[in-house]
Structure 1
Amino acid sequence: MASVTARRALRDRIRANRAASAERRTIAKAARRVRTGPRSLATHIIATGADAATVKGVAKALQGVAKTARTNGLKGKRARIRRSFNGARNVVKTVYRYTREQIAQIAAAYKPRKAEYKAVRAALIAA
């Protein structure tokens, strides 16, 4: 019976290590991409090491701030992508890519309330 328990413990530890490794790879890949050129808001946030729920919330908030910044002269690089949208396939959508400096300016104008969002804001400004 001990061998079954030991096998389960080993299996669970392997799964946990694999998940942690995948998360580290995702963060490292996003950080490398951010260094090389303009990327989406979400990619910049993922590079800070935030979890998925925080990335989604901060990205939505920063999109509103970025829209205001675009009217005030801060323009990201415009790109056209094809993706599924509301059940329709291959819809062409306009998205914006930002450099680190532009993200720092957008984050400076962002005033979050949640502690996690404040930590991400500080990391974006520092980068």
Structure 2
Amino acid sequence: MASVAARRVLRDRVRANRAASTQRRTVAQATRRVRTGARSLVTHIIATGADRKTVEGVADALRTVAKKKGVKGRRARIRRSFNGARNIVKTVYRYTRAQVAQIAAQYKPRKAEYKAVRAALIAA
């Protein structure tokens, strides 16, 4: 029988591998979706491989820049749940790669992580 410490090491390794696999799968899926059509700003940012905290910060900043510069995404309506209420219709905006690159070119981040995401968005 393996010791408690050995089981703990194996458990932690399994958890880390599962988390890394989920992250890779999410990035690959977002990358494929961005290639096929207009998507949300968050999807474009996830496709760069950024972590969740960075995605939230950059997405908020890019929405602000888009509003200031008048870049309009394609309007779409989705149904989702909010605070327990189901099937609420919400209007969202989808952006092409060219529009995201235009928005990112106007975005001037300070953090190093945000600068890396900006460069990836412009290059895409």
TM-score (structure 2 length as normaliser): 0.90
Tell me if 1:121 matches 2:123: no
Partner of 1:107: 104
Change (3 A) 1:99 1:6: same
Cα distance in 1, alignment partners of residues 30 and 5 from structure 2:
38
Point out where structure 2 has 5 or more consecutive residues left out of the alignment: none
Q: What amino acid is the match of 2:15? A: R
Aligned-pair CA distance for 1:88: 4.4
Cα distance in 2, alignment partners of residues 95 and 69 from structure 1:
18
Change (3 A) 1:6 1:85: closer
CA offsets, 1:35-79, max 9 Å, x none?
Answer: 110000000000111111110010011111111233xxx332110
Match of 1:80 among 77, 80, 84: 77
Cα distance in 1, alignment partners of residues 69 and 99 from structure 2:
10
Tell me if 1:29 matches 2:29: yes
Cα distance in 1, alignment partners of residues 65 and 82 from structure 2:
23
Q: Percent identity?
A: 80
Point out where structure 1 has 5 or more consecutive residues left out of the alignment: none
Task: Single out whichever of 77-86 and 1-10 deviates more from structure 2.
Answer: 1-10
Partner of 2:60: 60
Number of equivalent positions: 124
Say what the alpha-carbon RMSD is for the aligned residues.
1.7
